[in-house]
Structure 1
Amino acid sequence: MSNSKAKAGKTIRVRLYKSINSCQGRHRISVRALGLRKLNDVRELVDSPSVRGLINQVSYLVRIEESA
C-alpha cells in the first residue's frame, strides 16, 4: 500500500502558455483532457505515463513546472 501512496504523491505542474486557436482539433482535446482552459492556466497532475503522453503531444503549447 505504501508504494501506491508514494506514486500518487508525485505530481507535476502544467501551464498552458500558448493559445489553442490555431492548432489541430486532436491537440485541443488533449489540452482539455489535461484540465487546461485559458492561457496561463495551471494544473497539478499526477505524474503518470498517460499524462506524460498528453503533455508530449502538445509540448509546443504547455510548459512543465516540476513541483517539489
Structure 2
Amino acid sequence: MAKKTLRVRQTGSPTRRPQDQRATLTGLGLGKIGRVRELEDTPAVRGMIAKVSHMVEIVEE
C-alpha cells in the first residue's frame, strides 16, 4: 500500500515572522512563496502545517 502524502503550497512570506515559524517552514522544505512540496502524511508533519497554517495551504490533487 502506498504511503499517503500531502501537497503543501506556501502562500505567505516568512519575513517578519518569529524564528520558530521560519524554522518550521524550512523543515517542511518551503521558504519561497509559491513553492509546493509533497510530504508524507504523519502527525508530525500535520503539526508543523498547523503551526504555520496562516502561511501554507494544502493543495487538492
Indicate whether the TM-score tops 0.5: yes
Give the one of 20, 39, 44 matched to 1:45: 39
Unaligned runs of 5+ in 1: none
Aligned residues: 61
Q: Which entry has the higher C-alpha Rg, 1 or 2?
A: 1
Query: Which stretches of structure 1, 4 residues or more, deviate above 3 A after TM superposition?
Result: none
Under a length normalisation based on structure 1, what TM-score does the superposition of the two structures give? Answer: 0.83
Pairwise CA RMSD? 1.0
Unaligned runs of 5+ in 2: none
Alignment of 1:7-22 (within 5 A): 8=3, 10-22=4-16
Structure number having the greater helix percentage: 1
3-state SS of the aligned residue for 2:6?
strand
Under a length normalisation based on structure 2, what TM-score does the superposition of the two structures give? Answer: 0.92
- Please tell me the residue identity of whatever aligns with 2:19: G
